[in-house]
Amino acid sequence: MGGDSWKTSGTLVSFSLGGNIPDMTPTLATVDAGSGKLLLNMGPRAGFRRYGNTTDGNESFAVSYLPADVANTDPNDDHDHILVSALGGVQAFDASRVTSIYAEGGSGNDSVTIAKEVLVPVEVYGDFANGTGGGKDVLKAGGGPATLRGGARRR
């Protein structure tokens, strides 16, 4: 009897909760399935981050390019990726699915930096696309066609 109950408790201790812990990582951007537009989850889309800070305040987003690496054995990096960095995290998107990048900084002092290696068209607003909102925004375009609007400082 005593031996059986000891075994039961041992099984419980080794039971893994790994698969049951929900992913609480903020969603930094979303690819629109129809248009292939990569929508940065900032400004009016801050709520789409879902976890962590979901407020449209001072936001800083950076978009960079990660070329494919076929030399190693990891199949996950065998194609090019667009990387979105914000809020201390990084998320990778299959570059072949991204046709353009869109962001509205909304309220607050926002920063959006698109690396020069990113060649898809970019449309970025420091505030809201309709011209409302405010803050000192810093926008930097990538290597492709760019529309940058708004903010006290524009680059």
Distance between CA 48 and CA 67 in Å, rounded?
Answer: 27
Residue 103 contacts Ca ion per CB under 5 A: no
- What is residue 44's three-state secondary structure? helix
Binding map of Ca ion across residues 5-44, x = CB under 5 A, - = no contact: --------------------------------------x-
* Among positions 41, 45, 93, 127, the unique one binding Ca ion when judged by CB under 5 A: 127
Residue nearest to Ca ion (CB): 135
Q: Report in angstroms how near the CB of residue 39 gets to Ca ion at its nearest.
A: 14
Nearer to Ca ion, 105 or 142 (CB): 105
Measured from the Cβ of residue 118, the count of other Cβ atoms closer than 10 Å reads: 23
Strand order in the sheet with 146-149: 29-31, 37-40, 100-104, 122-125, 146-149
Strand order in the sheet with 81-86: 89-94, 81-86, 60-66, 111-114, 138-140
* Among positions 38, 103, 105, 111, the unique one binding Ca ion when judged by CB under 5 A: 105
Site for Ca ion, rule CB under 5 A: 43, 56, 59, 105-108, 110, 126-127, 135, 137
